[in-house]
Structure 1
Amino acid sequence: MSELIRFGISIDAKLLQNFDRLIQQKGYATRSEALRDLIRASLIEGKREDDEEQMVGTVTLVYNHHVRDLSDKLTEHQHAYHHQIISALHVHLDAHNCLEVLVVRGKAREIKKIADELIGVKGVKHGKLVMTATGEEFH
């Protein structure tokens, strides 16, 4: 673990009060840990905007599996990106709808492209991409 450095900040009393409430709701033990998480989240958000940055993420899809050729189209997309799609979970939600969660890894640009293509397939009811850092930068 790297050296810990202490520093002080000036903050409006009302803002601190709201922050303390948030910390309590989320179950943080200290303000320091909450601030570290906020800083990490901000740094990761910046990385998401860099198309060349290595990221990991999930693409979540909800679709009606009775839509003609939809399952085949989604499978074709997944095979086309087999180097970036490292895992998949398929859940039958009911007699018609399925949930698919794909774990992806690669450059931010590639991950966004894969997600956009999958979410855009006709018959997908809803889709969402969530990206984060690989963790290597937060030793």
Structure 2
Amino acid sequence: MAVSRFGVSLDEELLEALDKYVEENAFANRSRAIRHLIEKNLVEEKWKCDNIVAGAVIIVFNHGKKDILRKSAEIQYKQKDFILSTQGFHLNDKNYMEIIAVKGPSRKLTEISDQLISMKGIQHGKLVMSKAE
């Protein structure tokens, strides 16, 4: 892929924020950080357009609440056309994390993640999407 160079003018405050972003995310330089931000924006625009995307729904909960796994499995079964795989991990004696790989229209994946994340007992949940094509 050919690389094009161009100049960017930023006010001091925005430049400091960019440098902090570069440092916090361990980018090699500002160019890589800017590339990352542009790509991230393009992916998020695809979500809004309801394009086909891939991603993961991550939920964390107390593994002592067995009902959550059953409910999660029921939701996934009903949405099996969009579920690629599921993997679970015991984080410690108390907490369990389930990662559900998904692919489909962004609105549908958002709907599925909302169903999973809103289950009673979920301590934390997040949907992460990326372009699939």
Does the TM-score normalized on the shorter chain lie above 0.5? yes
Distance 1:13 1:123 in 2: 45
Contact kept? 2:21, 2:33, Cα under 8 Å: no
Match of 1:63 in 2: 61
Return the offset for 1:75.
1.0
Return the offset for 1:96.
4.4
Distance 2:31 2:93 in 1: 48
Match of 1:81 in 2: 79
Q: 1:55-82 CA distances to partner (integer Å, 9 max, x unpaired)?
A: 1111111223443633222111111222
Q: Secondary structure at the match of 1:102?
A: strand
Instruction: Report which stretch shifted further, 54-63 or 103-112.
Output: 54-63
Instruction: Report which stretch shifted further, 92-101 or 34-43.
Output: 92-101
RMSD (Å) for aligned C-alpha atoms: 2.2
Residue 10 to residue 118, structure 1, CA distance change in 2 (3 Å): same
Q: 1:37-96 CA distances to partner (integer Å, 9 max, x unpaired)?
A: 11111112222222x211111111122344363322211111122221111111123444
- Total equivalences in the alignment: 133
Tell me whether 1:39 sits opposite 2:53 in the alignment.
no
Structure with greater Cα Rg = 1
Tell me whether 1:13 sits opposite 2:12 in the alignment.
yes
Distance 2:17 2:70 in 1: 49
Tell me whether 1:92 sits opposite 2:87 in the alignment.
no
Q: TM-score when scaled to structure 1?
A: 0.79
Residue 118 to residue 33, structure 1, CA distance change in 2 (3 Å): same
Q: TM-score when scaled to structure 2?
A: 0.82
Residue 132 to residue 126, structure 1, CA distance change in 2 (3 Å): same
Residue 91 to residue 16, structure 1, CA distance change in 2 (3 Å): same
